[in-house]
Amino acid sequence: MKIRSDLARFGRGFVYAWNGIRAAVWEERNFRFHLCASFYAYAAAYLAGLDRTGVALLSLCVFSVIAMELMNSAVERAVDKPDTTHWWSAGAAKDMAAGAVMFTAIGAVCVGVCLFGNAAALTAIWRGVTAGPLTVALWLASLAAAYWFTFRFGRKKDKEETHDAP
């Protein structure tokens, strides 16, 4: 019996984690942006023909930025609307968490420049994107879908907050 309850508790942890990721997709624009950016980073890796080590470095960066964005969202939620005696601390915590995302993203960009910042990789990516009219149309459609997903999908916090105002 003890083993079954331990396994059930362990399994619930995955459910809670999935719920957190789902909430971030629905409610956090920056999280959706990072998901879209990771899609294009992996597409570039495929087109550039990155080796396994390059893909591993890219994956480490992608998952680090996304994990940091989840942590930033969690901090923002935890300290949102504090009492008046803690407003400065709450603001500082939110700013620090956002700074952590920024530093992680800058590190990921540095790795991206190292992986893709050569003529062979850039040429391979360009050729893959512009291989034909259908390919160009599909890439443009993917950019439109990424824009919609990032900026139009999910719950609109701004609208919800304006309804609360007197």
Active site includes 69? yes
**Choosing from 69, 76, 160, 161, which is the catalytic residue?**
69
How would DSSP label each residue in the chain? -HHHHHHHHHHHHHHHHHHHHHHHHHH-HHHHHHHHHHHHHHHHHHHHT--HHHHHHHHHHHHHHHHHHHHHHHHHHHTSS--GGGHHHHHHHHHHHHHHHHHHHHHHHHHHHHHH-SHHHHHHHHHHHTSSHHHHHHHHHHHHHHHHHHHTSS--HHHHHHHH--
| Residue positions annotated with a catalytic role | 69
